[in-house]
Amino acid sequence: MAPHRISPPPSQDRVPYSYDYLPEVTSSVTSGAQNLTEPIAIVGLACRLPGEASSGSKFWDMLVNGRSGQCDFPETRFNVDGFYKASGDLAGSINMRGGYFIQDDIRDFENSFFGINNVEATYMDPQQRKLLEVVYECFESAGAPIEKLSGSNTGCYVGNFIIDYPIMQTRDIDGMHRYGMVGMGSTILSNRISHAFNLNGPSVVLDTACSSSMYCLHAACTALQTGDCDGAIVAAANLIQGIEQQVGVMKAGVLSKTSTCHSFDASADGYGRADGVGALYLKRLSDAIRDGDPIRSVIRGSAVNANGKTQGITLPSAEYQEKVIRKAYTKAGLNIDDTTYVECHGTGTPVGDPIEVDAVSRVFNNPRRAPLCVGSVKTNVGHSEAASAIASVIKVTMAMENNYIPPTIGISQINPKIKLAEKGIEVVSKGRTWSTTKKILRAGVNSFGYGGANGHAILENANPHLPYNYSAASKAIP
């Protein structure tokens, strides 16, 4: 995997991005002007995912080799034997024994490295700890010196869903400490990053459940395009630490008794919950070219919407999933037919998967072209809820860098409610070379929250966006 690092031009002024070789865009950026359609470059990425996928390169190795991070609940989280009952009908019980978990001790943390004293670190949510580590590695992968980032107009957008740590910390109010609020407050997930690295752009936490990090991605791209910030961290953490939210999600009827995401498969019975921590470092493409950054992939557009009034607040809507995809393409001014792959939300619920495939088909089904390829990373690393969209974006980015679409594993029989041939869709169950008649590799990434918050992003490979005269000093970044 060799991201592109290019030599910056002599001038340090912002370089207007030229679209001369991208015929779909008819106008170029004028220096200093806002451009609401300027592409956004992903220049850094890092992750902690199940199955020992503790870096981008290890994650890619896992995907290529078709491995799964599914396992039983670690003993360091809670004693599953004290809560498990196969029927799940006993009060306070769960009917699954596992999910997808990070193998390292999530409490491990070198607090002095981030200038945090021992007492304060004691009361920090492990999600704060792991976010600091992953964001540091994300900057490192971009070759961005911390001292240059300090005091910069860099935003921080963090997705959140899990409330395990606050629940655990407030069981005994007599034990509350003065560091307790900053240790467990959801808002501190982003503020801690801004504080530790001295970032002065917007700092916000968003919770739309399973589409949280997609909403963060969209908010960060918009902020970059309007000039609210000059760089942005998009991050999320989802660390399963307690039993309470596990019971709540199970009672909602969306979890698999086998603790597994059987995406697109006839055996789909709900999703397997997952740990996940991830970060992306974004910059305007023109700025990334100017600064000689390693451009991993390019975000051409994004959009978000909500289902509105449906028959039930948790019921997915094919109509509004279709609309959010079309909205993204309309804003970006792109030809839908040039997209050859969609990374689906694909959680493995018997209702959700057919609805999503139907929505995707409504947009991309064209009898004059080959079937659209789709897949879901959740068969490898489970559904990390707030962090799931980042896992999807990292997968698609590395797939573009390697011209290879990894397999969606575990499929023995397609869900009969998903009419693939009729809908012009093909699930990539075996890895393949990502080939296209054009030099552009374009993919969509879907993300949907259980309350009806939908999102979609459009990604392209870096090559077509680099100037003809760029100097490729390739550097492998894990």
In a domain, 8, yes or no: no
pLDDT at 469: 65
- Candidates 260, 290, 266; CA nearest to 381 is 260
Domain that holds residue 340: 38-465
CA distance 277 to 264: 25
CA distance 264 to 411: 7
Q: What angle do CA 233, 263, 205 make, to 5 degrees?
A: 25
CA distance 376 to 403: 17
In a domain, 27, yes or no: no
Q: Are the beta carbons of 146 and 196 closer than 8 angstroms? A: no
In a domain, 5, yes or no: no
Supply φ then ψ for residue 447, to 5 degrees.
-155, 135
- Identify the sign of the CA torsion 251, 257, 260, 264: negative
pLDDT at 361: 98
Write out the two tokens for 379: 């068969």
pLDDT at 309: 96
pLDDT at 467: 85
Q: Work out whether strand 276-284 and strand 404-405 pair parallel, antiparallel, or are unpaired.
A: unpaired
Task: Look up the pTM and report it.
Answer: 0.92
Radius of gyration for the chain, computed over Cα atoms and rounded to the nearest angstrom: 21
CA distance 179 to 60: 38
Residue 305 pairs in a beta bridge with: 454
- Candidates 190, 58, 213, 85; CA nearest to 132 is 190
**Residue 47, C-beta contacts closer than 8 angstroms, at least 6 positions apart:** 53, 54, 55, 56, 59, 134, 276, 277, 278, 279, 390, 391, 394
In a domain, 12, yes or no: no
**CA–CA distance from 240 to each of 106, 166, 273 (Å)?**
10, 12, 8
In a domain, 432, yes or no: yes
Write out the two tokens for 435: 């080939």
pLDDT at 394: 98
In a domain, 434, yes or no: yes
Q: Work out whether strand 341-343 and strand 372-375 pair parallel, antiparallel, or are unpaired.
A: parallel
Write out the two tokens for 392: 């999807």
CA distance 20 to 183: 50
Write out the two tokens for 29: 């950026």
Write out the two tokens for 251: 């009672």
pLDDT at 440: 92
Q: What is the mean pLDDT of each run of 10 residues along the chain (478 residues)?
A: 39 37 37 72 98 96 98 94 90 95 94 97 97 98 97 98 95 91 96 98 98 98 98 98 96 96 97 98 96 96 97 95 98 96 97 97 94 98 98 98 97 95 96 87 97 98 84 43
CA distance 49 to 384: 9
Q: Are the beta carbons of 279 and 138 closer than 8 angstroms? A: yes
How many domains is the chain built from? 1
Neighbours of 405 (CB within 10 A): 26
**Residue 156, C-beta contacts closer than 8 angstroms, at least 6 positions apart:** 190, 191, 193, 194, 199, 201, 202, 203, 204, 232, 233, 235
Write out the two tokens for 53: 């996928």
**Residue 10, C-beta contacts closer than 8 angstroms, at least 6 positions apart:** none
Write out the two tokens for 288: 């990334």
CA distance 23 to 25: 5
Which amino acid would we find at residue 71?
C
In a domain, 357, yes or no: yes
In a domain, 197, yes or no: yes
DSSP secondary structure of 280-346: EEEEEHHHHHHHT-EE-EEEEEEEEEE--S-SSTT---HHHHHHHHHHHHHHHT--GGG--EEE---
CATH number at residue 44: 3.40.47.10
